[in-house]
């Protein structure tokens, strides 16, 4: 297969810039070095999903590594270094692109000090980051023109979890010891209304946090402290409960209920409902 990107790149606004997450795979990039990107103060965090037997990395026209990369290994690259690569063999990796502005905004919101730089030994194995990558992949897979079965909320939560791990482990940044409070009653009511009014609308975490006037990273923890669930979990559970009401009180077809409850399509509705309730929507309706 030819080199390709996933058909959907997820992104989250942090500070004045946007963090990008994408899946990159292909049968190789040829026998020549890739073109050097325009230098920018952005970190590229690469996680290998499968073994990469051969790759060369070059900075400023000099080779800095030709070591193979094992499954679950990572590399942290600063794009200021005019990095080029030679990747002649099949590859499958996940990229997280973090501009310096976003990194500073994230750490200032969550830590006592900024991160001077990110770095680690080349091809270091990181099982936790790899697990987060596997959780993130469904948020990237979307057939052209189709709705993703995964909410932007969940994608945002995964990306924030990745950033928290990376800044702590590879930026020597300690989490802020100040406890995160709960949402006050007015904030909670405002956010729950936003989550429940239009279930088909994909709401980013930053929009909910903005409605409360707090950073997205603080908001995610405050919401969990208040409700016992993440925003995406609360909305998923609400969708199921609302679907039950429609199944019991109306004769609407499953396709219409699926749409009204914000599921990507009827099969997604059926899978999600069965996972939560233990039976399909049709079976649940028949028993009532």
Query: Does residue 179 belong to any structural domain of this protein?
Result: no
Is 187's pLDDT higher than 70? yes
Residue 195: pLDDT band by 50, 70, 90 thresholds? very high
Residue 108 three-state SS: helix
Kindly tell me if the per-residue pLDDT of 192 is higher than 90: yes
pLDDT digits (tens, 9 = 90+) for 117-143: 898 988 999 999 999 999 998 888 665
Of the given ranges (29-38, 61-70, 80-89, 143-152), which has the lowest mean pLDDT? 143-152
| Total domains present in the chain | 3
Identify whether residues 127 and 241 lie together within a single domain.
no
- Both 246 and 206 in one domain: the answer is no
Which range marks the domain in which residue 162 is found? 4-170
CA distance 216 to 178: 16
Can you give the CATH number for the domain in which 245 is found?
1.10.10.60
pLDDT at 111: 62
Evaluate whether residue 180 is within a structural domain.
no
Range in 166-175, 223-232, 260-269 with the lowest mean pLDDT: 166-175
Same domain, 12 and 153: yes
Asked if 54 and 197 sit in the same domain, the reply is: no
Same domain, 115 and 196: no
Instruction: Give the confidence band of 162 by pLDDT, cuts at 50, 70, 90.
Output: very high
The model's pTM is 0.84
**pLDDT for 150 beyond 90:** no
| Pair 130, 20 in one domain | yes
Clarify whether residues 224 and 238 are in a common domain: no
Same domain? 162 vs 257: no
Query: How far lies 59's CA from each of 33, 45, 97, 99, 119, in Å?
Result: 11, 16, 18, 19, 15
- Please indicate, yes or no, whether residues 190 and 251 belong to a single structural domain of this protein: no
For residue 178, being part of any structural domain is answered with no
Percent of the chain whose pLDDT exceeds 90: 52
Q: What is the mean pLDDT of residues 54-58?
A: 88
Percent of all residues in the chain with a pLDDT value above 70, rounded to a whole number = 90
- Do residues 94 and 154 share a domain? yes
pLDDT value for 1: 45
Whether 19 and 144 share a structural domain:
yes
The answer to whether residue 175 sits within a structural domain is no
246 belongs to a structural domain: yes
Q: How far apart are CA 267 and CA 235, in angstroms?
A: 18
Short-list 42, 248, 21, 212, CA closest to 134: 21
For residue 154, is pLDDT > 80? yes
Residues 136 and 216 in one domain: no
Query: Using CB atoms within 10 A of its CB, is residue 106 exposed (0-12), middle (13-18) or buried (19+)?
Result: buried
**207 occurs within a structural domain:** yes
For the residues 187-210, what does the mean pLDDT come to?
93
């Amino acid at each position: 297969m030819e080199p390709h990107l996933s058909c959907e790149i997820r992104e989250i606004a942090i500070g004045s810039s946007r963090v990008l997450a994408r899946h990159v795979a292909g049968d190789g990039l040829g026998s020549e070095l890739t073109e050097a990107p325009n230098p920018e103060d952005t970190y590229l965090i690469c996680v290998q999903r499968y073994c990469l037997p051969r790759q060369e990395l070059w900075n400023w026209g000099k080779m800095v590594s030709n070591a193979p990369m094992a499954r679950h290994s990572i590399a942290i690259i600063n794009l200021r270094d005019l990095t080029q690569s030679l990747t002649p063999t099949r590859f499958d990796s996940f990229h997280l692109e973090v501009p310096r502005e976003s990194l500073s905004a994230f750490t200032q919101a969550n830590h006592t000090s900024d991160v001077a730089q990110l770095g680690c030994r080349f091809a270091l194995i990181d099982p936790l980051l790899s697990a987060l990558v596997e959780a993130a992949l469904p948020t990237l897979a979307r057939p052209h023109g189709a709705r993703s079965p995964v909410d932007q909320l969940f994608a945002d939560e995964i990306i924030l979890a990745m950033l928290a791990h990376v800044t702590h482990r590879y930026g020597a940044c300690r989490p802020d010891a100040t406890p995160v409070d709960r949402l006050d009653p007015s904030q909670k009511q405002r956010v729950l209304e936003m989550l429940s009014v239009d279930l088909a609308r994909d709401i980013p975490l930053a929009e909910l946090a903005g409605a409360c006037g707090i950073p997205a990273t603080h908001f995610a923890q405050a919401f969990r402290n208040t409700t016992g669930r993440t925003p995406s979990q609360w909305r998923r559970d609400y969708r199921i409960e609302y679907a039950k009401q429609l199944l019991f009180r109306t004769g609407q077809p499953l396709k219409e209920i699926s749409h009204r409850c914000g599921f990507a399509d009827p099969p997604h509705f059926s899978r999600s409902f069965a996972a939560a309730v233990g039976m399909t929507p049709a079976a649940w309706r028949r028993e009532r």
